[in-house]
Structure 1
Amino acid sequence: MISVCEVCKKRVKIGELGRCVICCNVFERIEELAAKVLEDLEDYEFESFSVGSKLRGSAKAVQNFLKTELGIDDELNFKRNFNREFARKIREKSGKNFKPNGDVRVIVDLEDLRIDYEIQPVYIFGRYKKRVRYLAQTRWLCSFCKGRGCEACNFTGKKYLSVEDIIITPALEVFEGENAFLHGSGREDVDARMLGNGRPFVLEVVKPKKRKVDLKELERKINEGSGAVEVKLLGYATHKDVERIKSASYKKRYRALVVFEKEVDERTLKDALEKLKTVIHQRTPKRVEHRRADKVRVKRVYDTKLLLHRGNKAVIEIEAEGGLYIKELVSGDEGRTKPSLAELIGVNCYVDKLDVVWIYDAT
């Protein structure tokens, strides 16, 4: 006789062994499992939770036997019933809210009743300014030691200090997280500054024990840290905001100090800058082709302005579509960018210093 329990929602009664072949009387241990969950999560702040369960091993074998040999398909019902009762008990004991995408996901292995936890990250939206050059946006490990530390990197494990390093250090402290990542809307070159209104970013804190902190206090800690980076934290975000800022197109304004191979007439320079306000066809620059797909990008320059001109040097502003490589727009990159300032003037030139001075709202 097939032995099943009432909790499994079957009409037949438990057989002589008194043990349900569907759930092995796991429902009798829900109180114990819920208590263990709350004990394990004692150090974690969370307002909501979700539950899940998985079948494997002998528990899975029983389900397969019932389905293939006896035509009883109980896996879905068993798991659904268990999840419902388990969630109800956790909610009852903790007062927390059940949500499909809760702060914490509790997963029970119905083979051995092991419990795993998925602590959802915390996301914060903000903007950062980078006031110095030779500061990477994200962690840049030393190419010699791969982050272990060596003489080449002064045993830091890093080729460059990064904006990410400066922001996540105090963030990990206040959120008590295991790790953190900076997701930026594009990135400036390591030798370029990010000024003006700052670059949009989302900070992701992994496995945080604290979920709600004073963002103004965190902002203060970051800004008082190095002096190289200034942030404005604008509020809590979600994973969808990471996707949004990475896919959005932000028009940008740049300021560049350009050096020409020889002196350039100011009228010639102004004419070339006027002609540069057009559609640009730009093949992946040689300096980044090892980490970017080799393709031709079609971008637009919206505006240009000559701010200063002295002999073979000039300071110019360029307002362009996001994703346009400004250094190559100036130099031409051996013909890979067309048109370029060098091509229009007929004189080789390069960007000596570059700043991002404004990032407009996404389009």
Structure 2
Amino acid sequence: MTTSISDAAKDKAGWIRERAAALGFDICRFTDLDDAWPAAARLEAFVEAGRHGEMTWMAETAARRAHPRAMWAEARSAIVLGLNYGPAADPLEILDRRDRGAISVYAQGDDYHEVIKPRLKTLGRELQTRLGGELKVFVDTAPLMEKPLAERAGAGWQGRHTNLVSRTHGSWLFLGVILTTLDLPQDPPEPMACGTCRACLDVCPTDAFPAPFQLDARRCISYLTIELKGPIPVEFRAALGNRIYGCDDCLAVCPWNKFAQVAREQKLAARPELNAPALADLAALDDAGFRTLFAKSPVKRIGRDRFVRNVLYALGNAGDPALMTAITPRLDDPSALVRGAAVWALGRLAAAADIEAQAAARAPAEPDPDVRAEWAALYNPDLRR
């Protein structure tokens, strides 16, 4: 009996789904690459409005993001893989524990790039061996927009918070993509199913959503704590609370999360030492200690100074003067970025007499203009928040 092309394609897709599931992927969907790419226009508007902030690579690689085939002209289909990383508990509960640091759920375990990419490569090798064709794998490390592809393949839909929402995994999905020269059957897209809900917009501490489905990264806590290299603008520091790496608020309040299971694999689970660590301990980290604590973690990529900057802002928001013992040593830190954050935290927690004594001892000799400005702001109520 002769097998039709469509049946053969379905057989290929079925085998790929089976292998993807065996490798631990929770979602495996397919889409072709024939149509126009509306995401390119959205990205162009985002960059033109300056909402990408210091992420200059988004502008520099915009042409390559214009369509998946701008990345690889020979690609015919995309295989979209999803890995559930649902947390074991409500990630917003830690926001009430002000002496503890809130690290985004995705960063509490091993770096997801290192978790997903080996599986994608394994699937790719097996796919080529069995089905032929050429392929390339992507895990958020090249200018390919995975979320629009996932939406087109029916893995979920873009929520009002601009992230992917899944009926089966809520907002907790790591994504990976395989582009291939094979023709695979296209899965239907998933209709947007947020209804009138705007919980993700309303919960944002810094009003980072100018409108539904739009994000101003310059106001987003994830951008501020991860991508921004200098001091965080004063207007956002109090809103950071104890968030020291990323922010889960808009993801965590999504009602579709009730269908998300807890991440079932150890590599995706939170490490105990990264789940609600003490701010005072984190403030004392030197570079070696930082690298040891965050080995294999995505947090390591921002470096010790930027991370301790975040910790000091969180200490300043903690409301406990006893934590001054963790802040004071950082006033003499080798990093100007850290010293500046320590001055701000000092102003939030210390008594007036202590502030004056510390300023008299350090401000006159401070070589960095940003840190001198932080000292000056302690005496100007209009500059302090």
Assess same fold via TM > 0.5: no
Larger Rg belongs to? 1
Between Structure 1 and Structure 2, the one with more strand by share is 1
Structure scoring higher RCO (CA < 8 A, sep ≥ 6) equals 2
TM normalised by structure 2 equals: 0.26
